[in-house]
Amino acid sequence: MGRVSGSMISPEELAGAVGAAADGSAARPVVLDVRWRLAGPPGREDHEARRVPGAVFVDLDTELSAGPAAPGPGGRHPLPRPAALQEVLRRAGIRDDDPAGLVVAYDDGDGSVAARAWWLLRWAGLDPARVRVLDGGFAAWRAARLPLAGSGPGAGAPEPLPAPPGDVVVRPGAMPVLDADGAAALARDGVLLDARAAARYRGETEPVDPRAGHVPGARNTPAAANAGPDGRWYSAAELAERFRAAGAGPGVATGAYCGSGVNACALVLALEQAGLTTPEAPAALYPGSWSEWSADPARPAATGDRPWAARE
């Protein structure tokens, strides 16, 4: 299985960047721990027990969104207010006067949650060359037997001194977004990708949102299929083959959605990794996603394997 570079970074590469910062030969990377699970336990507990040395915990529900919300306008994970996001990023130590300084996000899975941090950093105006997702997440870091900080068994590596507060200015709008009408139009006139598991796309189950099914015309490309069993991402060629089969390609207007606007960020990232979009012209994100769409009874829902199958 091939591996990707681009907006991904391997555990060994991140460890090298941390080491270079320690000896003063390079800028210190800012590492964001965004571990999160829909049904818990809280990611902060995992962070306190074991983490990449120097990592700062950032909470998906309260810091990478405007707070957990019920399905409806904006969805379950609405985009954070720019001022609130700026405060979070400054607390993490992200600076505008360090244009080469890496910012790396990791989760405890296949990068689908970390991709939300990647997307928000890009949306906030950071240079695409600075922003990375740790390939394989925290599991890959541990598998590589790299140092662990924290209070749990096997941890205890020394922590670097806390980074000084950052001065980054959030300038929202650098990544394209869709509202519900825009998602409907893209599903009709371009390619709208659904990042959820196939059973949710088909409407066989819906554990969270008001109705089952998918946006009529959307095509299912689960975010979990970006990576292999070890959580490491497939090569650009392998990713491109999957997305081309769904109709995506250079010059094709493409967007993505999921349940609440989180995992769809991994499709935006994967399309860029595959070379089907570029940092200058990325795929669009529908932040409200199915949690917003399904809460509006005026919006139709399709079911089954086909994009336009059986509609309410």
Which of 94, 258, 267, 271 is labelled catalytic? 258
- Backbone phi and psi for residue 311, each to the nearest 5 degrees, phi listed first: -110, 145
Are the CB atoms for 204 and 244 separated by under 8 Å?
no
Residues contacting 248, CB < 8 A, separation 6+: 191, 193, 254, 271, 276, 283
Per-residue pLDDT of the chain (312 residues; tens, 9 = 90+): 334 458 999 999 999 998 887 777 678 899 999 999 877 777 999 999 999 999 999 999 999 999 777 888 899 999 999 999 999 999 999 999 887 799 999 999 999 999 999 999 999 999 999 999 999 999 999 999 999 999 999 998 999 888 889 999 999 999 999 999 999 999 999 999 999 999 999 999 999 999 999 999 999 999 999 999 999 999 999 999 999 999 999 999 999 999 999 999 999 999 999 999 999 999 999 999 999 999 999 999 999 999 997 665
Whether cis (ω within 30° of 0) applies to the bond prior to 41 is: yes
> Hunting for tokens 């949710």 — which residue is that?
200
pLDDT of residue 5: 59
What is the distance between the alpha carbons of residues 183 and 267, in angstroms, rounded to a whole number? 15
- Token duo for residue 131: 């922003």
Are the CB atoms for 170 and 164 separated by under 8 Å?
no
**Is 258 noted as a catalytic residue in this protein?**
yes
- DSSP H helices, 158-288, are 180-189, 198-202, 236-245, 264-273
pLDDT of residue 97: 80
> What's the Cα-to-Cα distance from 201 to each of 34, 106, 213, 304, rounded to whole Å?
26, 26, 5, 7
**Residue type (1 letter), 94:** I
Residues contacting 13, CB < 8 A, separation 6+: none
> Residue 236 CB: number of other CB atoms within 10 A?
19
Are the CB atoms for 291 and 301 separated by under 8 Å?
no
Residues contacting 172, CB < 8 A, separation 6+: 82, 123, 124, 125
